[in-house]
A and B are shown apart, each in its own frame.
Chain A
Amino acid sequence: MSTGAHLLLIAVTGGTIYVILRLVRRQVLRAKYSLLWVTVGFGLLLIAAWPALLDLIANSLGVNYQPALFLMLAVAFLLILVVHFSFELSRLESRVRTLAEEIALLRHDADIRTPELSDDADSISDEGRDE
């Protein structure tokens, strides 16, 4: 690998770690994800800075072509992550649905207590809808 490409790789990986750390500091990312990405980031930085490490690992595992090992691990990792996100997304969606039902039921309770439906009430409740 040329020195230029080497430096670029290190810079990009370092930049990624920096962005993740910033997100964590601003508390946009939950701790469990930040830990995950910071770990991955430092792993990549290590390989970027010292490519021979990958050769070493590949050799010890008996893999002849090092990039194949790297890509296989990366794909496996991302696949697991995506499945995990699908799971979390399904759970969140089901919770949002239940909350929406709960809101409708509560609003109905409130409606019973204020049986008069004035036109003022219409316009106020319509403003809150953003679709």
Chain B
Amino acid sequence: MGSAPKTMIVIPAFNEENSLPEVLAHLALVVPDHTVVVVDDGSSDRTYHVARRSGVNCLRLPFNLGIGGALRAGFRFAFEQGFDRVVQFDADGQHDAHQIIELLDGIDQGADLVIGSRFAGVGDYNVGRARYAGMGVLRVLVRALSGQKFTDTSSGFRAISRRLLGHFAVDYPLEYMDSTEALITACRLGYDVREVPVTMHERSGGEASNRSFRLVYNYLRLLVVLATSARRKAPALGENP
């Protein structure tokens, strides 16, 4: 490793014109060396213009693809632009830019996916009881399927190595609960997945998605995906330095 690794921060944003300026300003202050890319997921507000005025890159999707789709577009961009590490960051201001460094440390130590966990000890992040129960089920499920123990399977605060990026750029889970699916996929494919404790702020905008019917549906869907993914050959972009 001769030169410093190139790092990109990808921020999927759907109608986040209110919270975005503060998030971007904070990132520019804390991690000025990293390239910031906002993926405007078909917003109907001025998300795209807010991002461009802040001087960051912005990928504008022609219509809403959902968070997984927005992330895949960002990963594809990162891979094509030759970035070595990618950090996935929320547009609603609940992630702390200072902790990006801790996630990236994990990548530098050889991990392919480092997850910022809300429940690994630091900070006191509160979720509703139903949501907590749901997360508990997910934890058990993920443990059974991946053989590894994680305290937070759905956190959207993550760092990704270039090795895994080549995979996610073409094949990233596109539906709701993408983060859990991505975690299990990475484990199954033999990537090195780790967890570091993080603190999270209250969301400054938007709402957590936790409709119970949708959750049940998505648990079932996740099971189908996992059952069928076991023997599937994973597509990935080749390494071109």
A-side interface residues toward B, CB under 8 Å? 97, 100-101, 103-105, 107-108, 111, 117, 122, 129, 131
Contacts and interface: CB of A to CB of B under 8 A. Distances in A.
Contacts, number: 45
Contacts of B39: 104
Contacts of B57: 108
B61 interface: yes
**A interface: dominant SS:** helix
A100 B174 CA distance: 13
Interface of B: 39, 42, 44, 49, 52-53, 57-63, 65, 69, 72-73, 76-77, 80, 174
A118 to B, nearest CB: 11
A101 B42 CA distance: 11
Contact of B61 (A100, A111, A122): A100
Contacts of B49: 117, 122
Given A97-B174, A100-B62, A104-B59, 16 more contacts: A100-B61, A100-B73, A101-B61, A101-B69, A103-B61, A103-B62, A104-B60, A105-B76, A107-B59, A107-B60, A108-B59, A108-B77, A111-B52, A122-B49, A131-B42, A131-B44
A39 to B, nearest CB: 34
